[in-house]
Amino acid sequence: MITRQRLEETIRGVIREFKRTKRIPDPTADELAAALEAEVEGLFDRETAFSYREVEDSARYVDDSRSKAQLESSEKFIEEIVAWQQAHSS
């Protein structure tokens, strides 16, 4: 399981390695680490705001989620085809 603490430790380790090898200058590396940690905190806060216990029918929830994802990707695919056709038509 991915935990906030483990993810933040990994970020810090990667940033330390970048600083050590001088691939990212110190001030920039520190800013990047702070930004990534803030993003991780935001992601975990949003995740904890939702609970599957709030879903009455989990099978229906999953089915609805899959249907929505398939519909969105199908619509995007069709939009890409139309855009390609318009770009390549005379």
Residue 13 Rama label (left phi>0; alpha psi -120 to 50; beta): alpha
Q: Distance from CA of residue 66 to its chain's centroid?
A: 18
- Tell me which amino acid residue 25 is: P
Is residue 6 scored above 80 in pLDDT? Answer: yes
pLDDT score at 74: 78
What phi, psi does 58 have (nearest 5°)? Answer: -65, -35
Confidence of residue 86 (pLDDT cuts 50, 70, 90): confident
In terms of Cα–Cα distance, which of 13, 11, 17, 18 is closest to 33? 11
